[in-house]
Amino acid sequence: MADDETRVGVVYHDAVSDEQQAAMNWLRTQPMDTRVLSFTELQSGTADVDALWWHRDAPFEGREVRAATVEAFESFLADGGGLLLTLRALSAVERLGIDPVAPDVTGVESVTEPTGVLWRPIYDDHTAVSAFDSVRIPVCDRGAVPIARYERVVPSRGEVLASAIRGERDVPHEMTVVSWNRGSGVVGVGAPVAFDEPADPTVATARSDLVAGCLSAVVGGDQPHRPKSASSLAALREALADDPTRPRYHFTPPANWLNDPNGLICWNGQYHVFYQYNPAGPFHNAIHWGHTVSDDLLHWRDEPVALAPSPGGPDRDGCWSGCAVDDDGTPTILYTGGNGRWQLPCVATSPDPKLRRWEKDPGNPVIEEPPSELELLSSEHWEVEFRDHAVWREGDTWYQIIGSGVVDRGGTALLYASSDLREWEYLGPLLVGSDGHGAVWECPELLELGDRSLLHVSNYEDVVYFLGRLREGTFEAEHQGVLDHGDFYAPQSLRDDDRYLTWGWLPETRGPSAQWDAGWSGVLSLPRVLSLGDDGRLRQRPAAEVDQLRRRRLSTAVPDTIGGDRHTLGVGGRTLEVALDVSLADASAFELSVFESADREERTAIRYTRESQVVVDRSASSRDGIGATDSQRMPVTPYDEPLSLRAFLDESVLELYANGRHCLTSRVYPSPESAGISVATEGGRASLRSFDVWALEAAITPGPRPSSRAGEEPQ
């Protein structure tokens, strides 16, 4: 910790600016020994200080950070010194050899409202924020202030500690505070911590406390750095283990952000699931590929990040969705690389039997531009909407489809062919959607299910599927539907012997600020098996292995006939499977209520109605109003057959399978104590042919679990 004995050297180039002088004047009011060092003095090697502070407001010009200056900083850090970089100085990390990725946004920002840092809750014990009881810290409320920050990219070696706030708004994609574990610590603060600007006393105090805390942090050492090993990822997971909204047997990221499942492959007897991952926090930005592996489809182990953007490469701004194939014994990934306004296909291969290390093809991107034969959609962000890959092999030829959209027509899946996964020939659109199918198709996938093919696409709202036949490079759709009627998106599948296993992304329905405060976002569904029934229609069911999660069967004592009064079960829990078969005798509806509080003010109702629907009513799912409050509807026909329902409850996930045909997934956020279950009918009686409840075990157990766990009998 910094104190009267701490020696801080304030460095400057050429001349001291008014802003630098104001910062020095402030520092002299702090309990630290302050010294002022020019770059020349720094290069002389006589700086007898514990930490250097480079506070710079002017833009960089020419080669003012010369080799001798870089060597002086490197030598100081090598000797165990600490370094604080503020305002534009943060943008010098590449020049100083601290990180190959510099902030991509620098300049002067006009501040007209309280603006500051949005600290990551997983680092709320960091010395820099020891003076605060909130992760939202305003440090400037007016003026034209120099700044530096990461937006489309993230540092390669450093760990993002904070993003930005503007007034009442969180702005996660503006990353303003970064730490590096060099010397006794390097911290960069590109937020508007300007001392030569007037500020409200409360804001000025916060600015002072933050900068003083950062100086203490770089003196104290042991700065957080990017978690890259399995053990460091496990530590992140353990830090969030007590969150009562975090699923226990559905896969979640160790922390931060998860979206699309990617690169699903069974390799050397293990199941590998990669996924879209942002290491900088629980928001969609600067996408990497996270990695998890399982021996049994149930219990998952975190692996190091598999793909990261390459500075200056075609994936500089993100390694987005793609797939994995076995290319004659070489595991190969095709993924979308983002660079500026372009997104193009890239290839990577792995020489590692555990698939931890991947080598990007030097010829990337392997398709240099989208096809010009169609008028493909452009957008605010992309020159052409052209992304996400599904690849398969027929004989000696590889085929892939890429998602896009045709102007004034609809979403499309574009078909390509190749002999080597590097040189691709455009064959034309596999299928172009019409009204109601979405303007852009993401994450297309084509699966062979016996004598029919299944094409599914994600259109920003739903996962639409088409059953039909592939003939001469075009898809002839015979039937269409929706793969899941709830919070489910961007699924991907792998071939596992004679079955397809499919996972989807279950996005959060709570707001960005709630996700930030939780420290994580995004869940993967249970693995599903997709197949065709005897009637030629799609079937979906949980993989058979899911049954092995059943830890114990709970006594329910539910009557065979339900009518009149509500029946409350004597057991409950938040990590359960409920399986039942019910027929509507003369009732208009049967209701299963889960995540229920003792007073029933908080509950999620699952209703089976005579109108041939299963309805999930989320209007009372959260006492605090967190998350969606709408009703979700899933058609089940005909109504007069028994409804066979499997409901998987997992803290904030409700995943339903109806009659082995239909799926509906909900995200709800009940209070920790809401773990009850009850059943009731409306307008008559219903017949329960079976009713079973199992407590399910966790898929990942990094540390202690909250006290209210599955299968506990209410007290």
Residues designated as active site:
260
Collapse the DSSP code of 26 into the 3-class scheme (helix H, G, I; strand E, B; otherwise coil) and give the result: helix
What span, in angstroms and rounded, lies between the C-alpha atoms of 467 and 502? 16
* Sign of torsion over alpha carbons 648, 649, 652, 657: positive
Which residue(s) pair with 289 in the sheet? 276, 307
Tell me how crowded residue 417 is: count the other CB atoms within 10 A of its CB: 15
Contact predicate 667/621, CB 8 Å = no
- Smallest CA-to-CA distance from 492 within 305, 260, 298 is with 260
Angstrom distance (rounded) from CA 216 to CA 270: 46
Provide the pairing of β-strand 185-189 with 82-87.
Answer: parallel
Find out whether 306 and 230 touch, Cβ atoms under 8 Å: no
C-alpha 323/C-alpha 390 separation (Å) is 6
Which residue type occupies 357? R
Report how far Cα 459 is from the mean position of its chain's Cα atoms.
19
Q: What angle do CA 270, 272, 276 make, to 5 degrees?
A: 170
* Burial degree of 468 (CB within 10 A; 0-12, 13-18, 19+): middle
Per DSSP bridges, beta strands 7-12 and 33-38 are parallel
The sheet with strand 330-339 has its strands ordered as: 318-327, 330-339, 342-349, 359-360
Strand order in the sheet with 270-278: 300-307, 288-294, 270-278, 256-267, 520-521
Taking the C-alpha atoms of 286, 124, 628 and 705 in order, what is their torsion angle to the nearest 10 degrees? 110
Which are the contacts of 384, defined by CB distance < 8 A and separation ≥ 6? Answer: 342, 343, 370, 376, 377, 378, 404
DSSP 8-state assignment for residue 268: T
**Which SS3 state, helix, strand or coil, does residue 612 take?**
coil
CB 276 within 8 A of CB 287: yes
Q: Is 548 exposed, middle or buried (0-12, 13-18, 19+ CB in 10 A)?
A: middle
DSSP assignment of 206-256, as one string? HHHHHHHHHHHHHHH----B---SHHHHHHHHHHTTT-TTS-SSS---SSE
- 662, β-bridge pairs: 658
Under a CB-based contact definition with an 8 Å cutoff, are residues 389 and 402 in contact? Answer: yes
